[in-house]
Every structure is written in C-alpha cells, then in structure tokens.
Amino acid sequence: MTETANPGTFDVTLRENRVFPPSRSFAEKSAYSLSDLQRLRELGARDIEGYWAEAARDLTWFQKWNRILEWQPPFSKWFVGGRINASVNCLDRHLATRPNQAALIWEGEPGECSTFTYAELHRQVENLTAGLRQLGLKAGDRVAIYMPMVPEATVAMLACARGGFTHTVVFGGFSSESLKDRINDAEAKVVITADFGWRKGGRVQLLEQVAAAASFCATLTHAVVLQREHAGQLTPQVRRSFQTRRDLSVLSSLGESKVKKVDWHELMASIDPREVSRLGRPEELDSEHPLFILYTSGTTGKPKGIVHSTGGYLVGALRSTKLVFDLKPTDVYWCTADIGWVTGHSYVVYGPLAVGATVFMYEGAPTTPENDRFWAMIERHRVSILYTAPTAIRAFMRLGDQFPQSRDLSSLRLLGTVGEPINPGAWTWYHDQIGGGRCPIVDTFWQTETGSIVISPIPAETALKPGSATRPLPGYDVEVVDRAGKLVPVGQGGYLVIRKPWPSMARTIHGDPERFKKTYFSDFENGVYFTGDGARKDADGYIWCLGRVDDVLNVAGHRLGTMEVESALVSHPKVAEAAVVGRADDIKGQGIVAFVTLKKEFSVADRDLKSVQDELRNHVVKEIGAIARPDEIRLTDGLPKTRSGKIMRRLLRELATHGKVQGDVTTLEDLNVIAALQQSSDDEG
Ligand code: ATP
Ligand code: MG
C-alpha cells in the first residue's frame, strides 16, 4: 500500500437512490429456489468449508478429497487429495445428457457463423490433447495461447487442461514484447496461435508477433498455428482436406528461431482417428494442479502472473456461474470478454461449460461493420444473457440510442457487468435501452486473483442498487475495514478485504511467492486478503466499490473516491466518459484533475472550451459539493485504457503531475492516446 493509500472517510454518496426489487421471474424459474438460497446464505455464514464442500460435489472427481482446506496463510490448498480434470467437467460429463446440444455458437468478424455441439467440442479437444502430447508435452508443462476469439481458442484451453499443461493465455492484442515477457516468465514450451485474426476489418498479424518473439524465448520448442481461414470449421471435411498422418518430424522453423512450426490441422490429422480417445485421454490431476497462469491487466503496475488451481478454481467458477447467471441449457449466453482476461477464463470457458450451457462467442470489434453489430448478433442468435464491461456500455451510450433501438433485443433476460465500478448513469442506460427495463443487472465485483465472482446480486433474491455490486456471494467473508483491520462504521469508506480463504483464490504469483505475500497479505494480519480496492458499506450491507485505494483523492483532508467525481461528471448530458486523478497541491494536499471525453454530438470549438469547462465544474459542485470542484478539466478524444478497457489512472496521474508518462505502458490499448494527451499538455504548459 502506498503512502497515499488511506481511504479514511469518504464524504460523498452516490446520486441514484432508486432500488430495483429482485426479479420475480427469476425467483419462479431459477435453479435455486428462494429457500435454497436462504439455506446457502446460512450455511456460507456458519460453515464456509461446509458450504464449499457442498459446492464441490457439483463437480465430477476421479477421486474425492480427504481434506477440504489446508490454510497456511497466504497459501491455501483446497480439496486436498482430490483428483480432477477441468476438461472432463466441461465436456465429458455432458456427453451422456446433452451430446447434441450446442456448446459453442461462434461468429467471426467477417460474418461467418458456426456451431459446435458438446460431442464435437469434446472430439476436438481430445484430438488436440493427443497432438500436444505428441509434441512432447507432459502434465505440468506450460503452454502459451495467443489466439483470436475463435472456437479453437476454447479448444486450446480445454486441451491444455485435459493434458495437465498449465496454460497462459496472452491477449491477442499484445505485441511481441508482451508475448515474449509472458512466455519467458511462464517458461512455456509450446505456443498455440493463429496466422492472424480479424479486428475492425483488418488483420491482426499474430504469427508475425510470435515469430518476432520466438528467438528470445529459450524454452519454446513448437508453435502450433491455426490458419484463420479454417477457424470454426471443426468438421471431418476440413480434417480430410489436410494430408492425413503426415510425419511431423519434417517441420519448418519459425522465423530466425529454432522453434518448430506445426499447422493446427496437420497436428490434428497426425493422430490416428482410432487412437484419438486413448491418446487424448484426460490426466487425473491433483486438485491443486495449476490449471493456468494469467497475467493481471496492469492497471496498477507491472503485470503479475497469477496462478490458479484446478479443483478449487472450478468450484468457484461453477458455483458463481450458477448463482449469478442462473444459466440453463435453453440460454444463449454471451460474455463479451476476451479469453485473454480472467473473465474470459471463468465466464466464457470454464464456468458456463461446466454448467453445460450454450456459449456465444464473437471474434471482432463491436462497431464492425456497423455500430449495431452487437445488437444485430443478439437479435440473430437470440442471446438471452449478456455480460460485458462498463467501458463498453459507455462507448455504446456515446454512439447513440438508435443502434440498439433498431434491433430486437427481446430475447435478453439478464445483463451483467464487470471490470470497473459502473456509474449509475451507464447502469440506467443499460437497464432501459438494452434490457428494456425488464432485465436485472448483475454488477459483479471480482479480480484476476479471486478467480471467480465475489460480490454480486443473485437475481432471484437481491434488490438492485445502481452502482453497487450489492452483497458478497455465500461462502465469502468480505468486509470493509480500517487500517487496523477493524470494521468501519456504516457509510464510511475503508479497505475492501476478504477475511477467510476461498477455493478459487490465487495460489501464488508465478515464480514470486514473496511478491504474492507482500501484495495481498501484508497490509492486514491473520491471513486477511486485501483487494487493493476501497469501498463502503451501506445500512443494508451493500458494498459500494470506490476504486483502487491508490486512486483515492485527499482534498483538503477530505477523502473522495475518483469514481464519485467521475460519476458526477458522467451524469452531465454532454459527457461520455471521465477519469479523475489527484495532483499534489501545496495548499489542499491534492487537487483534482479531470480528463473528460464528450459525447459525439458535443465536440467543442476552441472558443467554447472555457464555458464547457466551467459548466462541468459547476455541475460537479452541484452534484457533490465545492470540495470536489475539479481544479483542471481537460477535454480529450480518448482516455488511456488497458487492453481490457480499464482506465489507467496511474498514467493520467503522471501526466497531470509531470506532463508526461514514464511508467510501464505495455498493457496500454492505444499509445496514441497518451501521445495526444502529452501533446496537449505541452501546448497548454
Ligand atoms: P492490476 O492488478 O494489474 O493493476 P487490474 O486490477 O485492473 O490490474 P483485474 O484483476 O482484471 O486487473 O481487475 C480487478 C479490479 O477491477 C478490481 O480490483 C476492481 O478495482 C475492479 N473491478 C472489477 N469488477 C468491478 C466491479 N463490479 N465494480 C467495481 N470495481 C470492479
Ligand atoms: Mg488488480
């Protein structure tokens, strides 16, 4: 925790007092009845281990555990002695009940569609596991996955899980530098990639990046390359069109490196079809076997390689998917996250497939070819559950209401958000414009480190308050505490902590257990996990996340959450998006600098600049009070975001303070945004 990281008392409350009652239709049809939910709440509060042991029984184990938990803070082991395989839980166990149900419906950016049943997906996965074994991989080895959002990305993850090869998915938008760092940190032996992927009508040249990285990756032996042209065609015809049983010893090298290049389909075809089941059989893995390593999004600093287990992780993913999304086989469920983020792991792949649901997946940009692409796909595939990020929702708001309005969104029954606090204005827009006023919104708080959702409404049970992720799910001991670890009074800001271990918690930071301990377990005693976020709890026990404590402002002794000033700004009709940071101020301690993007229709001519800035300043004063008056308002066309769409306030803080950016920018979405902001601060300064 840094010196500034003392949230103390937050003075401000959010301006949206409406409460939306729990959904009656969910209560009637939900897999868990209201009395079930009440029982789960009671069990979770009384006996956390008992609660999670019950949840673990929803999974298929080769061998049952003999101890639920071993806890030597900060290191936990769950379902000790149990043996399990994630791909068996996502695929094999559904084969008896729903072999012909769609597991995956996919749309590529150019518009091709395909559907894979559970039986087909299973066949592909065991085939690839067999292929990867043929390349010499053994349980415990690491594999990097650097893929576009195509069905083969899911196949690759599950094939790794099947063989016990710990995967590390690297977001396809990252450069060769970021890829190289992650491959080397994880010591991956194989990288699974594609020649390219589609994004905004252009080709993202993945293989070029892999080739550029390969010479610098000493552990890497093979690159398995999918030809994007054949993505989604998991059919026997495609398989036959490739030479069968080619001798893989005649492989070409990748670029200048010694890494051997293998064509995805040739690798698949090199396995004798009669031997696929045997050679692709699932490994019976220890519950604690590392399923994956995933690097955090880097909002606060250098990315950390978060290690997740198999058994405990799956228990968290499955239980939260069932409680929060109430997924049914009749749903078409769409989580828009890329598999490069933890949301893409837990809620595109592992959670929904463990439930046996139908997952919709889309490759490309939300505005290609037209601004209504998302809504057109919801109409076309009758999507019933949509899970996306506040940043996407604000971008859609900025484009205008006509795009969702031109499409039939009546198939939707539930909406979700994740990744950042959602400002009440965006919540309301999502609720009305996308959900037609009838769909509950699950605002889900969690982190790469938590593995699965920690705080969220359960739609059948929980009344919604826009801007709050509501209450912790059963089985989580979440509190808001002061620096000494004592509960803070209702309404006051403090540190958001989880006081007891949970099954899907991170096990360590890859190669750096000390950093793991220091980052998450050193601020409080007795194994209390610190999320890094500030929060306050209201009189109903609802948790309001206030953003990262490093971002909290301290203005003349008053603590303000950046989120609250941003919400006030975004509630102004002209504002699309805002980011607020503090800047050292001799008199006040910290001054407030706001970076604001206006809605498309309100671009400002230079001569109006001052009047718009005054208007926005006054608006914040009216909404919150004079204490929150921004000292400076900078209008900008874009904000620096991580590749996962989160605002990187640490870069804005550097800009506001020094006029330039020096910190780590490897996870930044668009370097031009920083260049433009630096340019404009040079112009002003
Ligand atoms: P890094 O840890 O590298 O800085 P990151 O924290 O952005 O990156 P993630 O694990 O993807 O990486 O994000 C988790 C964080 O996102 C949380 O700690 C919290 O700040 C924020 N967050 C996620 N969901 C919500 C939500 N529903 N409401 C408020 N904040 C959220
Ligand atoms: Mg984080």
Helices (H), 203-259: 206-214, 236-241
- Give 506-530 pLDDT, tens digit per residue: 999 999 999 999 999 999 999 999 9
556/455: higher pLDDT: 455
Looking at residue 345, the DSSP 8-state letter turns out to be: I
Q: In angstroms, what is the span from residue 448 Cα to ligand 2's centroid? A: 7
- Which residue has the least CA distance to atom 28 on ligand 1? 421
Cα 643–chain centre separation? 11
Ligand 1 centre to CA of 296 (Å) is: 9
Dump pLDDT digits (tens) for 588-631.
888 999 999 998 888 777 668 889 999 999 999 888 888 889 99
Residue 10 pLDDT level (bands cut at 50, 70, 90): very low
**What pLDDT score does 257 carry?**
87
Predicted pLDDT at 673: 83
Q: What is the pLDDT of residue 555?
A: 81
Give the pLDDT mean for 131-158: 98
Split at pLDDT 50, 70, 90, the class of 163 is very high
Q: Sheet containing 222-226: which strands, arranged edge to edge?
A: 252-253, 260-263, 222-226, 190-194, 142-146, 166-169, 292-295, 305-308, 508-509
Ligand 2 center from residue 50 Cα (angstroms)? 29
Query: 3-state class of 529 per DSSP?
Result: strand
> pLDDT tens-digit profile of 89-99?
999 999 999 99
Q: What is the phi-psi region of residue 253: left when phi exceeds 0, alpha when psi lies from -120 to 50, beta otherwise?
A: beta
Evaluate whether 310 touches 289 at the Cβ level (below 8 Å): yes
How many Å lie between the centroid of ligand 1 and the Cα of residue 291?
A: 21
DSSP state of 325: I
* Mutation test residue for ligand 1: of 297, 441, 512, the one with most atoms within 8 Å of CB: 297
Show the tokens assigned to 299.
Answer: 């909002």
Mark out the alpha helices in 546-670 (DSSP H runs).
Answer: 562-570, 609-623, 649-658
- Ligand 1 pocket residue status of 421, Cβ below 6 Å: yes
- Residue 646: pLDDT band with limits 50, 70, 90: confident
- Determine which residue's CA is closest to atom 15 belonging to ligand 1: 447
Residue 504 CA neighbour count, 13 Å, CB half: 27
pLDDT, position 106: 98
CA–centroid distance, 479 to ligand 2, in Å, is 18
pLDDT recorded at residue 584: 87
296 CB within 6 A, ligand 1: yes
pLDDT of residue 658: 86
The confidence score (pLDDT) of residue 117 equals 96
**Whose C-alpha lies nearest to ligand 1, atom 13?**
447
Q: What is the pLDDT of residue 242?
A: 52
| pLDDT for residue 236 is more than 60 | no
Ligand nearest to the CA of 304: 1
Mean pLDDT value across the chain: 91
User: In percent, how much of the chain has pLDDT > 90?
Assistant: 71
Assessment of whether the complete model's pTM goes beyond 0.85: yes
Which CATH superfamily does the domain covering 556-684 fall into? Answer: ANL, C-terminal domain (3.30.300.30)
Q: Is the CB of 470 under 6 A from ligand 1?
A: no
- Looking at residue 177, what is its pLDDT? 87
pLDDT in tens, 250-285: 678 888 889 999 999 989 988 988 999 999 999 999
Which ligand 1 atom sits nearest the alpha carbon of residue 343? 11
Cβ of 303 closer than 6 Å to ligand 1, yes or no, is yes
Give the range among 196-200, 420-424, 514-518, 615-619 with minimum mean pLDDT.
420-424
Domain 118-283, CATH among 3.40.50.720, 3.30.499.10, 3.40.50.980, 2.60.120.590? 3.40.50.980
Q: Say how many Å lie between the CA of residue 28 and the centre of ligand 2.
A: 37
Three-class secondary structure of residue 416 per DSSP: strand
Question: Which residue type is seen at 351?
Answer: G
Q: Averaged over 114-124, what is the pLDDT?
A: 96
- Nearest residue (CA) to ligand 1, atom 31: 420
CB of 418 closer than 6 angstroms to any ligand 1 atom: yes
Looking at residue 680, its pLDDT comes to 73
Alpha-carbon gap, residue 444 to 459, rounded angstroms: 12
If pLDDT is split at 50, 70 and 90, which confidence band does 181 have?
A: very high
pLDDT band at 7 (very low <50, low <70, confident <90, very high): very low
| Model pLDDT for residues 660-675, shown as the tens digit of each residue | 887 777 777 777 888 8
Domain edges within the chain: 118-283, 556-684
Q: Is 297 close to ligand 1, i.e. is its CB under 6 Å away? A: yes
449 Cα to the center of ligand 2, angstroms:
7
Amino acid letter for position 37: L
Confidence of residue 682 (pLDDT cuts 50, 70, 90): low
Q: Is the CB of 447 under 6 A from ligand 1?
A: yes
Q: What is the pLDDT of residue 3?
A: 32
What pLDDT is recorded for position 552? 78
Distances (CA, A) of 614 to 241, 604, 638: 66, 13, 20
Per-residue pLDDT, averaged over 309-337, amounts to 97
| Maximum mean pLDDT: which of 341-355, 560-574, 662-676 | 341-355
Looking at residue 375, its pLDDT comes to: 98
Residue nearest to atom 26 of ligand 1 (CA): 445
pLDDT in tens, 551-567: 878 887 777 778 888 88
Q: How confident is the model at residue 209 (pLDDT cuts 50, 70, 90)?
A: very high
Give the residue-averaged pLDDT of 485-505. 95
Q: Which of 299, 339, 418, 449 to mutate to test the pocket of ligand 1 (most atoms within 8 A of CB)?
A: 299
pLDDT, mean of residues 342-370: 97
Q: Could you identify the residue written with the tokens 């608006």?
A: 619
Confidence of residue 417 (pLDDT cuts 50, 70, 90): very high
- Asked whether 300 lines ligand 1 (CB < 6 A), one says yes
**Predicted confidence (pLDDT) at residue 480 exceeds the cutoff of 60:** yes
Pick from 178, 181, 417, 445 the residue to mutate for probing ligand 1's pocket: most ligand atoms within 8 Å of its CB: 445
Residue 525 buriedness (CB in 10 A; 0-12 / 13-18 / 19+): exposed
How many whole angstroms from 539 Cα to the centroid of ligand 1? 24
Specify the pLDDT at position 339. Answer: 96
**In the predicted model, is pLDDT for residue 654 greater than 60?**
yes
Q: Ligand 2 centre and the CA of 256: distance in Å?
A: 36
Q: How far is the CA of 532 from the centre of ligand 1 (A)?
A: 9
Confidence of residue 6 (pLDDT cuts 50, 70, 90): very low
Residue nearest to atom 6 of ligand 1 (CA): 299
Which atom of ligand 1 lies at the shortest distance from residue 448's CA? 10
**Residue whose CA lies nearest to ligand 1 atom number 14:** 447
| Ligand 1 pocket, residue 550 CB under 6 Å | no
Report helix, strand or coil for 42: helix
